[in-house]
Amino acid sequence: PKDKKQPSAADGSGYVPDDVKAFVLGCGWGWSRWGSSPWSLDVAGMFILGYQIDALSKSGIKQCFLCENPNVDPRSSNSCASVLADLGLKVEDDGASYLDMQIKILRGHPWRSEGNSLRAINEGQFDNPSSDFLLILPGALPALNLARMVRQHQQRKLKDKRLALTMLFGRGDPSDTGLYIVYDKNTGRLHRMNQQEHGKGLRIGISDLFGEKLDRGEMHVLSQVGFTGISICSPETASYFTDNFDRDKLFDFTSAMLEQPEEELLFEHVIGADILDSTRHEYAIRVNSFAAYARATQDVLRRWSFPLVPDRFPFTNSVTTVDRGNTYRAETADVSQSCQLGRNLIICENSKLEEKVEVSQSCILRDVTIGSDSKVEGSIIMPRARIGKSASIIRSVVGEGVEISDGSKIGPGVVLGAGTVVGTKSTIPPGSWYARGKASDDAEVDMADTDDDSDEYSDEHSDEEGGEIRNLEDKAHSDQLGIGGKGARIERRKRDPFSDPVDNDLSWIEESQDEESDEEFPVVEVSEKERYEEEVRETIARALAMSHSVLDTSHEISSLKMVSNRSLEESIFAVIKGLLSQSVNLASESSTGLDNLNPSAFLQAVVKIFSDWKQLAVLFNGGGVVRNQITTISAVQEFFEANSKLRQTFPGVLKVCY
């Protein structure tokens, strides 16, 4: 610390100056950069937008206007309307509402968004604001405490009724700034705002009166600032942008309003300025062990990271790398060889991880490349990712179209999505759920058990019509096939024979060993909803068998929800039915069979399962919303429709659920 009176902390608590007001994240602004592509929200911007909407709704702001480039297709996934919908808001007529706040999307000329947006407000395309409103321009959504800025604007307006708007500026690098401003630090009033002519220095033209105020320290000249593109506007601000007004940008409008005789200093309209200090502040901590380093890392994340968990939201085609540890890394980040990324990360699109990388309990998004000899454990691999040679994939969910290179080892408990391509000399062990995938000729599928006849079965069929695995790739309807169990060829089975706790009849394995044709197996159509419920049930069954934690299981189900594009209600439905199915499985252990299942034993099993896994049900309940409670009841009803002999326990099960 610069203030030597403040000692450095040796216990991991650290030290932060009291005057810290805001921190700008390493990812920069939350919108995509200026350039040939249309402006759109990236991943980080979407998280920030959700947080800002919630905070602003509690600050008294009734209307928020988001300016959007007209080149952005409103139906695309990266449009403001789509993002608002992804955040759970109901979008109607280019707008949405959250609590008492209206959110409107304004589409203007690419280079005149703010002027055209304010004209649209003034001309009655929207309800004229009756109170202060927020105007957010493209490229202008940093992780700032906007709610605090709104309160400052409102307090300033109580002192000066002529306050037209408050503009937010952030300190920046002198080489990047294009502005200089003159403002009164005591009143927050903006007196000058001009673009800096690069290489020519500042041209202020200060009058004697301004000079005196500068000498007394009442006014300040800042050249290392940039306009954040966020303004808090008074209701009458929009009326200044008429068809007769010759200014197209809010910047030009503000400069024109300030072009008055400096000696008067009594402007008809007052413009305020908030300077956001995002400079680096010193942080001191003594690190003398790995434990101290871990404490320091956690402390830095706790103090300066954005307070959101990214996997609550869907993902767009962003190249910003986001770590689930609430930190952001630069876009298109390359990770060096032998790097251990650690746990609970989210590696976003188009990232490149080199050789011998270890990733655990993470989410790897689309088009990510992972080098050879890498290890991926307990993770979600989204579609179109590419896994290098000799990689190990353990207890992971692999999305559609993922390419797994030669010699890779796929560990037990792996879920392979549709269209997955497994390279030559790769190994798929028992306990893996292979959904409509493809495997190369030399890939090996381990058998469900380890008895001697499994190798005989593999050798017996290896030369027939290209072998079992080749058939999966060559058949005209290979997209409707699946692999399960002891090399049996099952087309779209409705249940997974290894994980279904209700029907564990494995007789089909022996019956299929002597079959040499797929024609006797009819195609069973399974809806996407049933398939998703099946995968959730299998996930819960595996978690119980392997003693997984509730948190890890919830992450896996959340990832399945995202990969399968299912809703929260469908997830609640599947979780409740999955827990009830496990209760049947537990109760059947003390009975002579499912047909003789004791209802009392079943109810006791429900109490135990829901007690041990209560937090899982709570995590997917969405805060006890009535709609989610109805979903829970519907799941219980559907379960008892399929298990009518247990229906007398229906009231008891409902009580346990509540």
Burial of 627 (0-12, 13-18, 19+ CB in 10 A): exposed
CA distances from 548 to 151, 541, 543, 584 (A): 46, 10, 5, 20
C-alpha dist (Å) from residue 279 to 170, 275, 293, 296, 655? 9, 11, 24, 21, 55
Question: Mean per-residue pLDDT for 425-442?
Answer: 49
49-89 per-position pLDDT tens digit:
666 777 777 777 888 888 777 777 777 766 777 777 766 77
Q: For residues 219 and 622, give the distance between their C-alpha atoms in angstroms, rounded to a whole number.
A: 51
Q: Cα(530)–Cα(398) distance, rounded to whole angstroms?
A: 19
User: Span 195-224, mean pLDDT?
Assistant: 61
Angle among Cα 197, 201, 205 to the nearest 5 degrees reads 90
pLDDT the model gives residue 113? 57
**pLDDT-wise least confident of 83-97, 110-124, 412-426, 451-465:** 451-465
Which residues are CB-neighbours of 461 under 8 A, at least 6 positions away?
A: 467, 468, 487, 516
Walk me through the domains of the chain, giving residue ranges and CATH numbers: 145-276 (no CATH), 317-513 (no CATH), 529-657 (1.25.40.180)
pLDDT band at 473 (very low <50, low <70, confident <90, very high): very low
| pLDDT per residue as tens digits for the range 481-493 | 232 222 222 233 3
Q: How far is CA 535 from CA 417, 494, 585, 630, in A?
A: 11, 11, 17, 22
Find, among 445, 382, 378, the residue nearest to 409 by Cα.
445
Confidence band, pLDDT 50/70/90 cuts, at residue 428: low
Distance CA 635, CA 274 (A): 53
Measured between its terminal Cα atoms, the distance across the chain in Å is 53
- pLDDT, position 583: 86
CA nearest to 80, candidates 122, 128, 29, 45: 45
For the cut 70, the answer to whether the pLDDT of residue 9 exceeds it is no
Most confident of 233-247, 540-554, 589-603: 540-554
As a whole number, mean pLDDT of residues 188-196 equals 76
pLDDT digits (tens, 9 = 90+) for 100-144: 788 888 776 554 556 667 777 777 666 667 788 888 775 555 556
φ and ψ of 247, to 5 deg: -105, 135
- Band (pLDDT 50/70/90 cuts) for residue 285 is low
Q: What angle do CA 160, 162, 163 make, to 5 degrees?
A: 75
pLDDT tens for 631-646 read: 788 888 888 888 877 8
SS3 477: coil
Given the structure tokens 């398939």, which residue do they identify? 531
Residue 570's contacts (CB-CB under 8 Å, 6 or more residues apart) are 529, 532, 561
User: From CA 45, how far away is CA 140, in angstroms rounded?
Assistant: 9
Which whole number is the average pLDDT over 341-352? Answer: 58
Taking CA atoms, 618 is separated from 138, 144, 575, 657, in Å, by 38, 32, 10, 10
Q: Average of pLDDT values for 173-194?
A: 72
At a CB cut-off of 8 Å and minimum separation 6, what does 477 contact?
Answer: 491, 523
Per residue in 503-540, pLDDT (tens digit) is: 334 343 344 344 444 444 344 455 778 888 888 888 88
* Lowest-pLDDT choice from 152-156, 352-356, 536-540: 352-356
Residue in this structure with the two tokens 């041209």, named with its chain if needed: 203
Q: Look up the pTM and report it.
A: 0.39
Task: Using alpha carbons only, give the angle 472, 475, 477 rounded to the nearest 5 degrees.
Answer: 100
**Secondary structure class of 98 (helix, strand, coil):** strand
Residue carrying the six token digits 């890498």: 374
**DSSP secondary structure, 163-191, as one string:** EEEEEEEEE--TTT--EEEEEETTT-BEE
